[in-house]
Chains A and B, each alone.
Chain A
């Protein structure tokens, strides 16, 4: 007996709706996965439908027709209300659709613009990062403890104390390099001064030379836009002075 034959007779009973309840579940779980038995069940239901027609003969009494027609007259079909679509009922959905379309176009354009700006910023950021790395390298060359500071002088001449100030008025940035500086006494320090075109000298910062007599000052706090007539170095108390208290030991004017 094949898998389908096993169910053949139950299919016939099921088509008539008289399969025992305990067998229905088993058959239906088989049918759910068997298209062949599903088709056969439908066919058997069609076959069974003919049995109803075998009984034709008796006709219902005339009152049955009257009763039915009276009943349906009491239940008139409710006509389907076709709602007339007003101007706004049509216009609002179309308007919303158009607005959505415009918003889509607008946002697409915004997104495109933002992407373009982001790409520019990315490019600018990369360039700045590169420049920053170069600047750091440069500063590191001046300030690193490992950097060698060599002052070249005329042959057969002994090295002299020397200071070099690189000053940018517009930004107030300054780099000062000193070499061949003699050590200072305890509690004393060299102090660099910016001597403006007009007004009192401005203290730049104090420094003490290292064992090789070199010292570096990078970007001390200075006001912007001060025109420097000269830079000078004095010896001051270690904490620095607000105005020079000694005569300059070094002085240089701009080139």
Chain B
């Protein structure tokens, strides 16, 4: 039996491929790498640790059952799992059946988040971008993303005009793009 060198980082693609062939150890490695992202997103949306844990379980089981839904040529696994988790958590929040199939989710962002250092750098950049936004802009963006509220619902909750909410959400996404492109 060959013992893997723990200092060698196996790529997401290699792990997903091994997992597709039934390698449960590879699944464990992927879980270790990405469960903080999945759990954090689910918790942020649901604000309930038990419910977040259920979503975590569900997302990784989906990956186990349908590993080919993730296409490494169309994005990184970390970002892809983040989007799937967010969509599934919002479906749970609204107590509705899943509206987005995991095969339909495409995220083609860089960099590869397999390395912990890269993940930390990327998260820092995102937080900087959010911190540099006005409070109104960040709240509108986060309410849309983490609560799945429509702009009408956000306008109703915040008391801001509909047009302002729309503008803030778009400007927020563009600001994020600008910061991450640097």
Contacts and interface: CB of A to CB of B under 8 A. Distances in A.
B130 to A, nearest CB: 6
A218 interface: no
A71 B57 contact: yes
Given A49-B79, A49-B83, A56-B40, A72 B27 contact: yes
Interface stretch (A61-69, A117-125, A128-136): A61-69
Interface in B40-59: 40-41, 43-44, 49, 52-53, 56-57
A56 B61 contact: no
Contact of A65 (B28, B86, B129): B28
B150 A79 contact: no
B77 to A, nearest CB: 12
B22 A53 contact: no
User: Size class of A's contact patch?
Assistant: 35 or more
B36 A59 contact: yes
Consensus secondary structure, chain B interface = helix
B70 interface: no
A83 B80 CA distance: 34
Interface string A45-82: 11111111111111111001101110111011101000
Contacts of A60: 35-36, 38-39, 52-53, 56
A23 to B, nearest CB: 9
Nearest to B64: A72
A19 interface: yes
Interface in A3-19: 8-13, 15-19
A20 B87 contact: no
A43 B130 CA distance: 18
B17 interface: no
Interface in A25-56: 42-56
A64 B169 CA distance: 34
Interface in A107-153: none
B57 A56 contact: no
Interface in B92-134: 100, 106-109, 113, 119, 122-123, 126-127, 129-130
Contacts of B36: 56-60
B64 A52 contact: no
A13 B65 contact: no
Nearest to A45: B107
Given A9-B169, A58-B36, A69-B24, A51 B180 contact: no
B127 A54 contact: yes
A54 B44 CA distance: 10
B126 A18 contact: no
Contacts of A20: 150-152
A164 to B, nearest CB: 101
B22 A15 contact: no
B37 A18 contact: no
A19 B43 CA distance: 23
Nearest to A9: B166
Nearest to B61: A71
Contact of A55 (B44, B173, B177): B44
A77 B142 CA distance: 38
B11 interface: no
Given A17-B148, A50-B79, A55-B37, 12 more contacts: A16-B169, A20-B151, A42-B106, A49-B80, A51-B86, A51-B142, A52-B41, A57-B40, A58-B40, A59-B36, A60-B53, A79-B21
Interface of B: 20-22, 24, 27-28, 31-32, 35-41, 43-44, 49, 52-53, 56-57, 60-61, 64-65, 75, 78-80, 82-83, 85-87, 90, 100, 106-109, 113, 119, 122-123, 126-127, 129-130, 141-142, 144-146, 148-152, 166-167, 169-170, 173-174, 176-177, 180
17 contacts: A9-B167, A12-B173, A13-B166, A17-B87, A17-B100, A44-B173, A47-B173, A51-B86, A55-B43, A56-B123, A57-B36, A58-B40, A60-B35, A60-B56, A65-B28, A68-B31, A77-B22
